[in-house]
Chains A and B, each alone.
Chain A
Amino acid sequence: MRGRVVTLATARPRVYVVEAPGGRYVRAETHRELDRRGWQPAPSPASADALLIAGTLPDPLRAAADVLWSQLPGPRARAEPTAVSSVPSTLDGLRACLRDRAGQLADRRGRELDEATRWVRSDSARHDETDHDDMDHDDMEMAPGGLVLAQGAPDRDGLEMDALRHPLGPLLDRWPGGLELVTTLHGDVVVEAEVTWWEPPHPTAPPQTGRADDLAGGWDAAATVLSLLGDERQARLARSVAPSSPEVGDRVLRRLDRLTRRGALPRTAGEVLHTALADSVPALISDDELVELVSGRDLGDVRLLVAAHAPLLQGVVDASGSLDD
């Protein structure tokens, strides 16, 4: 009985797929393999059964990966495939790990040492300390739970708004590997951004190069954008586009154009996808241009814009081999 329930529950695990620096080809192959098996990618760590980090993480990002891992509810599994060829066996391994009852129970008992648990605990310890101090109540209010409040800054209308610092990346699903975009937010509008690129520990060679590769990058970006817009069916179509199936490509292109006309997709994002897929290779985007691209946009638009420009970002191209190699 238990065995049958476990088999049924883990038949198609939901995998939270994160791209490590330089892991773009492994990540794309992971998505294609998930499509082949009919597994759903998870839209957030909280709804995921498994965490898959595509590519090799550099050491500075190990701690971030542990924080992310602590956000998965149990039973959970984790893997880091580093080569395109190892993706199918990795997915099999994830499912086997989810079905390993003894391992999952041991994992659950060890969660007292989770990154998140430790962080929250140390936070409340800070809070208690300030409580016992004979301090003024203003200090308490300025740092509830031991965390400071955001500083204020005038917004575009001259009204005082909170300037909240919120990181996008380094380890985010449907996000270019290695990109950490620390945004300063007024409400949900990005007013400033800082770009950091995390380098892969060793350069990864792209499995293929040339024109076909540019196009594959374009379709991959289109699939990411469609998935972010909640259209997983069209995203699967975009990922399945091969040079031999122009009519599928046409359908996806028409869908993207319609989304752009309706305003669901920012016009810049729609245009760059159209250029990449139909006409020619658009120009690469430097870090300054990326900051300019996302400034003044709301967070949802920022996700879409970055996803649409992902194959053209300087840091992505540097990390995964240039187009001319």
Chain B
Amino acid sequence: MIALAVLALLLAAGAFSLRAVGTALAETRSPVLVLPVASGRVPEQHALSRYHVRWYAASVVFLAFDVEMLFMYPWAVVVADLGTGAVVEMFVFLAILLAAVAWARREGAFRWA
């Protein structure tokens, strides 16, 4: 408990001294302001805008792989005991998921521009 308190104190002192050094070395207090990169022009519209719907399709396809990885972790622990049958079953499962990816590709989920 005491060790934790000392650690917290040290961290706070470190953060504070970094800030103090920054203030001491700064020439002025006001920060330099930055604009979005626009080749010497200023923005005409706010950058707050909708994401392209294609990002959602790509993220759903990513989820297919993500969930399959979740399933593969426990499978990897027991696959040596279960033998060939488990390997075949896993590849059948993967093939089903890949069929979904092939379908998404046919629907144009990866067609970007």
Enumerate chain A interface residues (CB-CB to B < 8 A): 44-46, 61, 63-65, 67-68, 70-71, 73-74, 105, 108-109, 111-112, 114, 116-117, 119-120, 143-145, 147-150, 157, 159, 161-162, 164-172, 175, 180, 186-189, 296-298, 301
Contact = CB atoms under 8 A, between A and B. Distances in A.
Given A114-B33, A297-B113, A165 B44 contact: yes
Contact of B45 (A114, A149, A170): A149
B46 A145 contact: yes
A298 B39 CA distance: 18
Given A71-B35, A147-B45, A189-B52, 17 more contacts: A44-B37, A68-B39, A70-B35, A109-B28, A114-B32, A144-B46, A144-B48, A145-B46, A147-B46, A159-B53, A161-B53, A167-B41, A169-B39, A170-B40, A171-B39, A172-B39, A297-B113
A306 to B, nearest CB: 12
Given A61-B40, A171-B39, A186-B52, A150 B32 contact: no
Nearest to A151: B45
B85 interface: no
Interface in B1-52: 27-28, 30, 32-35, 37-46, 48-52
Contacts of B37: 44-45, 71
Given A61-B40, A167-B39, A171-B39, A116 B34 contact: yes
Contacts of B35: 67, 70-71, 116, 119-120
Given A44-B37, A105-B27, A73 B32 contact: yes
B45 A46 contact: no
B105 interface: no
Contacts of B41: 64, 67, 167
Given A45-B37, A117-B32, A119-B35, A164 B45 contact: yes
A66 B111 CA distance: 40
A106 to B, nearest CB: 10
A71 B42 CA distance: 11
Contacts of A296: 113
Contacts of A111: 28, 30, 32
Contacts of A162: 49-50
B6 to A, nearest CB: 34
B66 to A, nearest CB: 23
